[in-house]
Structures are given as structure tokens and as C-alpha cells.
Amino acid sequence: MHSPQFDVIVVGSGPTGAMLAAELRLHDVRVLVLDKETEPASYVRIVGLHIRSLELMAMRGLLDRLLEHGRQRPAGGFFAAIPKPAPEDLDSAHAYLLGIPQPVIVRLLEEHAIQLGAQVRRDCAVTAFEQYNEGVTVELADGERLHSRYLVGCDGARSTVRKLLGVGFPGEPSRTATLMGELEVDAPPEEIAAKVTEVRETNKTFSLTPFGEGIYRIVVAGARVSEEPPTLEEFKQQLHTIAGTDFGVHSPRWLSRFGDATRLAERYRVGNVLLAGDAAHIHPPTGGQGLNLGIQDAFNLGWKLAAQIRDWAPETLLDTYEAERHPVAADVLDNTRAQMELLSTEPGPQAVRRLLTELMNFDEVNRYLIEKITAIDIRYNFADGPDLLGRRLRDIDVQQGRLYDLLHHGRGLLLDRTERLTVGDWSDRVDYLPDPTAPLDVPCLLLRPDGHVAWIGDNQQDLDTHLTRWFGKHV
């Protein structure tokens, strides 16, 4: 067999693929990103980055760049669009939603990956691949064959990689469709606001959100399930059907149709081929979790795959990617199923919605749902121990500045309040931060490169055991 030209080939240069490529490059992994499109999508779809994704961006020094192009909004009202404000004391230094055009996220993450040394090739559709002992041979539409140690499908809901891999994608097909787009609207703003208020009394998915200069983001129920993009005429017809007026819409920036299909890949890995992002899971956009879930997949996978390639990964480390992320996706699918039911106009779901709206007046209920949607409630099942074990650690003040500023290079970190421990032979992959003043109620903790707490304690021998578990034996 040919020797690999690359360590990893990533298929798909969306947010998940670009983020994964950048994470791999932090560890000098040779990465090629392939995308079948000639150019990145140009339509300006506004998406939201939730709290956990904002934290991850801060960990890699990317947040300031994103903030320049986004708009901060309150971190509330996400669950089934029930209008409840978020608790004021959410456990994060970034407790807000960042609304930002999706092309901007893709461009910034791709630029970040390229600056770190990733190669990106467009107009390159993958048509086949073959696994062998030491890697994968990938065939492109033009007949070119590429060789890599690993292949990761980040190529979306209709993933070619997943289909070629033969991984099942069970779940439910779309039963309903929703039209979404950004269009110019001629109707007066006060008339729009009044009509939206009237319609939303019974139709919670309907919305017209102004972006200035007469441009609105419009969400309206579709008449049919289809994979074809909607037309302007179809948009007008549905607006007439639902609201009794088309508001004088014209000149669309972009139009799309999405269904409520909900599916989860049976496996995230087969041999040297892995799946991430929408290639591994799809669900309705209710709660705005999809893009965030994919970016967080990339963060979880990147350092583990790099460790495997650098030959220091513990034997089961790469398997923890599926073990940790598959249940997270399953939970997102379940909460979007619940939200879709609560958005139904049928009397039964509406009664449940009214009851949940009352329950969300209790801080504990509201907080639980906000933390679930924004992914700051995730606790990976490492072992029994303090509640913080397995959870992500918020950004805190440390003697050297801010904790997340010390995580830009994708390494592990030992935060030692006792100043008695050491990372020893692992210093090439784990940083050491002695800080007796750190605002924590534990003596010491070990952070993985994705910011999750892998160990808590004050015993060197116990620490060494966990360093070996997560960062391998010294090579």
C-alpha cells in the first residue's frame, strides 16, 4: 500500500470540519479538508452560538474575532420558544447568545485552520474509499486517489462518507416542513409586529425578525415535505395561508426548507473512518443546537485523534469520542422532539406547553432547560467523584490572567492549588499551573484539552494514574 500523504482527510469544510482541522493542526497533524462545493455558501443565514461553543472559541483565542461580526443577545427563550429570561447567575463568563452569519463562522474557522497549516481543497467530491490496515484510500470524482491514516466525514446530513461506510442512520423521517429565508418586506413595521403577535398566539413557529433596511428573517410553516428549495411564490402563498398577507415580500437573499427529520448514526467510528457533526446526527433546528453540537464534536475528537496519530494515545482514548458524544447527541435529539411537540397547534400539546410555561417560573426548571440547550450541563461519565469531575470548567481568573487564555494550544493543564504536584514526564502535552489563589473549592484538577475536568485530588500517585489514562505513557 501507498504511504499516507496525510494523517487525516476531513470531508466537508463547514463549521465542524474546519474546527476539527484546526484542532488537529494544533498538534502538527497533516490535514487535508475536501469540500465538494466550488465556493463556500454565500447566503447570509444568521445562526446562534450558545454558551458552551462561545467558551470553546475563547479557549482557542477565536472569540474576539467572532464578537466583531456578531450580535450578543440574552441567553433565554430557547426551549420551544417559551419566552422566559435566563437566570442571571449562569455558570459561565459568556452567558449570552451570539447571533452571527453562518458564512462568517465558516470563513473564520477555515482561515484559522489554514493559518495553522491545514490544506483546503474545493470542488473535490469523494466518490469512494477503501480501508486497509494502516489507513484509508480516498477516491475523488475526477479519479484522483489520496491516501490518509484516518478519514472523518463532516459532510452533513446526506453524508457520502456515512453512506459509503454503511453505518445505519435510524430515526424518524420528516413529517412537517418549515420555510425559512431572508427577504425584503414592504409592509410597515407596526403592521408586521401586530400580525406576528396575532398569529403567534396559536402558531409558535411563525416569525418575522427585522435585520434593518427592510430585510426580515421569516419562518413560516411549509405546505409539503420536500428536499427542493422553496420558491418566492411558495413563500408568498404560505404567508397568505398562515397570516392572511404576504407582507409584500420580495428580493430574497436566500430561501430554504427544512424538515423535522430526527436521526442518529448507529456508530461514530468504523476502523479508521469517523463521523462528526450533521453526518452523525440530524434534528429540527428548534433551540438552535445543531451547529453547536457539531463544533463540540470536533473539539472532543480533535485532540484524541491527534494523540492517536502522535502515538501517545492510551489504547481506548479514541473510543471515548463515541462513548462521550453519542449520548450527548441522543439527548439533543430527545429535547428537540419534545420542543417540536410543544410547538404543535393541537390542543393536547398546547395544554402541555401552558403547564411547562408555568413550571419554568421556578428557577430550577428554567435553569435546567437553559443549561441543557446551551450544553453547559454535560457531564461525561469518567468515574465517581465530586460533581465537577467530568464537567467543563468555566473561565476563571488565575495568577497569569484568564484560564481560557492558557488553553489556546490545545494541551492538557494541571491547575495545582497546593503547589506540590508535577506533570513530570507528561510536560510535552500537559501544562502546569501552580496557583494557590485560584477560585476553586478543590485542591488540584487536571483539565483535558477540551476543557473537561479529568481528575480532582492532591495525591501525586493518583494524578500519575490519571495522566496515564488520558495522556498515555511517556514516549
Q: Residue 39 corresponds to which cell in the numbers above? A: 465556493
Q: Residue 351 corresponds to which cell in the numbers above? A: 395544554
Per-residue pLDDT at 229 exceeds 90:
no
Per-residue pLDDT at 187 exceeds 70:
yes
Residue 386: inside a domain: no
Q: Strands 444-447 and 412-416, how do they pair?
A: antiparallel
Q: Same structural domain for residues 202 and 295?
A: no
Decide which of 308, 323, 342 is a domain's last residue. 342
pLDDT of residue 445: 97
Banded pLDDT at 202 (limits 50, 70, 90)? confident
Residue 36: inside a domain: yes
Residue 373: inside a domain: no
pLDDT of residue 364: 96
Q: Same structural domain for residues 160 and 292?
A: yes
Note whether 470 and 446 are within 8 A (CB). Answer: yes
Q: Same structural domain for residues 409 and 466?
A: yes
Contacts (Cβ under 8 Å, ≥6 apart) of 98: 48, 49, 54, 66, 67, 70, 71, 72, 73
- Residue type for position 118: A
Q: Same structural domain for residues 81 and 33?
A: yes
Instruction: Convert the pLDDT of each residue in 49-95 to its tens digit.
Output: 999 999 999 999 999 999 999 999 999 988 998 999 999 899 999 99
Banded pLDDT at 1 (limits 50, 70, 90)? low
Residues forming beta bridges with residue 11, ordered by sequence position: 34, 153
The region, left, alpha or beta by phi > 0 then psi within -120 to 50, assigned to residue 413 is beta
Note whether 412 and 431 are within 8 A (CB). Answer: yes
Per-residue pLDDT at 40 exceeds 80:
no
Banded pLDDT at 332 (limits 50, 70, 90)? very high
Q: Same structural domain for residues 19 and 92?
A: yes
Q: Same structural domain for residues 17 and 140?
A: yes
Q: What length does the chain have? A: 475
Q: Same structural domain for residues 220 and 332?
A: no
Q: Which position has the higher pLDDT, 42 or 407?
A: 407
Residue 358: inside a domain: no
Could you tell me the pTM of the whole model? 0.93
Residue given cell 411549509 in the structure block: 222
Residue 380: inside a domain: no
401 burial (CB, 10 Å; 0-12 / 13-18 / 19+) is: exposed
Q: Same structural domain for residues 127 and 269?
A: yes
Cα–Cα distance list, 356 to 199, 206, 359, 371, 417 (Å): 21, 20, 5, 16, 43
Q: How many CA atoms lie within 13 A of 436 on its CB side?
A: 3
pLDDT of residue 42: 63
Q: Same structural domain for residues 98 and 182?
A: no
Q: Which position has the higher pLDDT, 101 or 143?
A: 143
Residue given cell 482514548 in the structure block: 317
Q: Same structural domain for residues 223 and 284?
A: no
Per-residue pLDDT at 7 exceeds 70:
yes
Count how many domains the chain has: 3
User: pLDDT over 90 for what percent of the chain?
Assistant: 81
Note whether 370 and 76 are within 8 A (CB). Answer: yes
Per-residue pLDDT at 44 exceeds 80:
no
114-145 b/e (C-beta count within 10 Å ≥ 16 → b) = bebebebeeebebeebeeeeebbbbebeeeee
Phi, psi of 6 (to 5 degrees): -135, 160
CATH number of residue 207's parent domain: 3.30.70.2450
3-state class (DSSP) for residue 66: helix
176-185 b/e (C-beta count within 10 Å ≥ 16 → b) = bbbbbbbbeb
Q: What would the mean pLDDT of 24-37 be, rounded to a whole number?
A: 97
Annotate 244-309 with DSSP letters as a single string.
S--TTEEEEEEEEEEE--EEE-S-SEETTEEE-GGGTEE---TTS-HHHHHHHHHHHHHHHHHHHH
Banded pLDDT at 475 (limits 50, 70, 90)? low
pLDDT of residue 420: 97
The residue segments making up the domain with residue 413 are: 397-471
pLDDT of residue 398: 96
Banded pLDDT at 43 (limits 50, 70, 90)? low
Instruction: Convert the pLDDT of each residue in 338-386 to its tens digit.
Output: 999 998 888 999 999 999 999 999 999 999 999 999 999 999 998 888 9
Q: Which of 406, 402, 414, 401 is nearest to 444 (CA)?
A: 414
Residue 151: inside a domain: yes
Banded pLDDT at 227 (limits 50, 70, 90)? confident
Residue 349: inside a domain: no
Segment among 96-105, 264-273, 274-283 with least mean pLDDT? 96-105
Q: Residue 165 corresponds to which cell in the numbers above? A: 461506510
Banded pLDDT at 211 (limits 50, 70, 90)? confident
Rounded Cα distance, 194 and 243, in Å: 11
Q: Same structural domain for residues 160 and 134?
A: yes
pLDDT of residue 273: 98
Angle at 73 between CA 67 and CA 76, to 5 degrees: 135
Instruction: Convert the pLDDT of each residue in 404-427 to its tens digit.
Output: 999 999 999 999 999 999 999 999
pLDDT of residue 2: 66
Mean per-residue pLDDT of the chain: 94
pLDDT of residue 365: 97
Q: Same structural domain for residues 11 and 117?
A: yes
Cα–Cα distance list, 432 to 11, 106, 413 (Å): 35, 33, 6
Residue 391: inside a domain: no
